[in-house]
Amino acid sequence: MHGIRRHRAENGSSPSSIRRESLYPAELSGLSLNRRSSSGSLPIHALIRLGAYHEGMAVSRKPLLGPGNEGKWAKINRADAEQLRAFNMALTPTQRLELGQKLSQQAVSLLAASVKAGNVPRRALWS
């Protein structure tokens, strides 16, 4: 069973510091070992055992950057793309040209730096 759900089942409560772990890892990182959680309901070492807390970060049972998350990624990518399109269409055509020009100049500048550093063959600049 997932750490949070198991904790709820065992304790019959859902301390806010645990419930929101994935959204607010910074809140959890303020806690330290050998202290009790801010709600006072469960010692930190117990949270670590449950997989609900890791020093400095929240631990997910199924990391997003892992296999089996194609559906989640498709949803995230779709939302990103829609957001980007909405942003672009909110600009006037000349604002888009301005942004496109700036973006292109930054891209070439970064590529030139990479060529200079020897990461990319020089022909990449002119291909």
Partner 1 sequence: MSRDEPSGPDLVGVIADANSAGLKHVVIGGFSVIFHGYVRATRDSDLLVPDGEEADETILRFLELADGRRLSDDKKVTMDDIADAEHLRVNSRRGIIDIIRGGSPPLDFDTVFDRADTTEWEGQMVKVAALPSVVGFKRLARRPQDRVDLEELEAIHGDLPEEPIPGLDS
Binding-site ranges for partner 1 (CB under 8 A): 81, 85, 88-89, 91, 93-94, 96-101, 103-109, 111-112, 125-126
Whose Cβ is closer to partner 1: residue 63's or residue 126's? Answer: 126
Label each residue of 49-100 as H, E or C: HHCCCECCECCCCCCCCCCCCHHHHHHHHHHHHHHHHHHHHHCCHHHHHHHH
Please state the closest distance from residue 95 (CB atom) to partner 1, in A.
9
CB of 71 to partner 1, least distance (A): 20
Which lies closer to partner 1 via its Cβ, residue 66 or residue 121?
Answer: 121
Q: How far is the CB of 69 from partner 1 (least distance, A)?
A: 23
Of residues 48 and 112, the one with the C-beta less far from partner 1: 112
- CB of residue 64 to partner 1, shortest distance in Å: 24
**Sign of the alpha-carbon dihedral angle for 122, 115, 105, 78:** positive
How many Å is the Cα radius of gyration of the chain? 23
Identify which of residues 33 and 91 has a Cβ nearer to partner 1 in the complex: 91
The 8-class DSSP code of residue 124 comes to G
DSSP H/E element including 44: helix 44-50
DSSP β-bridge partners for residue 54: 57
